[in-house]
Chains A and B, each alone.
Chain A
Amino acid sequence: MKNRIRVLRAEREMTQEELAELVGVTRNTIMSLEKGKYYPSLKLAYRIADVFGVGIDNVFTYEREKDGPGMGEDE
């Protein structure tokens, strides 16, 4: 799973701390999301998309076959 959180955040000149506060998570979670280490729940994914004012598919892209198990998925 790929995401454009870093790009969308940069476009809006938003810090990780600000985004974390807006979606109600810690800054570490935003860092892990941007690095692709952590896959968010559907609820959090929608909240992030909502903050950026775009559709969820504009933030997260599922890549078939390429994905290994990351944290947030069942291994």
Chain B
Amino acid sequence: MKRITYLICILLTSALVAAMVGWSFAAGALLVPVIAVPLGVIVILACRQQVTTVISDERTSRIRSKAAIKTIEVLLILGVIGTAVFASYAYSAPLAPSVNGKIAINNDGTRSMTLTLTRGGLPGMPEEVVRSLTIQDIDSMNETEARAYGLFWEEGLRQYEESGIIARTLLCCLGASLVTFGIFYLYYTRKY
């Protein structure tokens, strides 16, 4: 078997195993991954033993090492930039949206409430009104008004919250990458 055939075998086996695992989770057949994953590994190892040509030598190993290091470097730089952008957007108070509520007494004695979601702008610029909602009688809110009230909070602050989630996720990924790098660095420092 040639190297390219071996690579095709890996690709097909991985795709098949991934599909089976995905299907098993969807169908609730949790025994399938327990059998499929080791079986896939066995098939790949069996294919590897059939390869007659050289699979990888010192040049390919060195190319892979260099490519991996460059990839990590680029991803770290992009991660730091992304985290900074999203974190500054999510955590900077002037840019954060704010909700203001105003309760008024109606002519018939009931109370109405007006909620306004505003987004802060640059210093000196007026705040931008994102959306506004008025509930005519807050003591007897109907279903439509209750849904609109829920949506107001949910959708109004979603973009802001999503930026925070992305920033935290990127920060966790960066932290995990650095810790992994540190572990491998210590391992190879001790090994060589």
Contact = CB atoms under 8 A, between A and B. Distances in A.
Nearest to A75: B66
Interface of B: 53-54, 56-60, 62-63, 66
Contact of B62 (A20, A43, A72): A72
A71 B58 CA distance: 11
Interface in A1-47: 20-21, 24-26, 28-29, 32, 38, 40-41, 43-44
Contacts of A43: 58
Interface residues of A, number: 15
A25 B58 CA distance: 8
B59 A38 contact: yes
A24 B59 contact: no
Given A29-B60, A38-B59, 6 more contacts: A20-B54, A21-B54, A25-B54, A26-B54, A28-B60, A71-B66
A24 B53 CA distance: 9
11 contacts: A25-B54, A25-B57, A25-B58, A28-B60, A29-B58, A29-B60, A32-B59, A40-B58, A41-B58, A71-B66, A72-B59
Q: 6 nearest interchain CB pairs?
A: A25-B57, A29-B59, A26-B54, A26-B57, A29-B57, A41-B58
Contacts of B56: 26
A32 B63 CA distance: 12
A20 B56 CA distance: 12
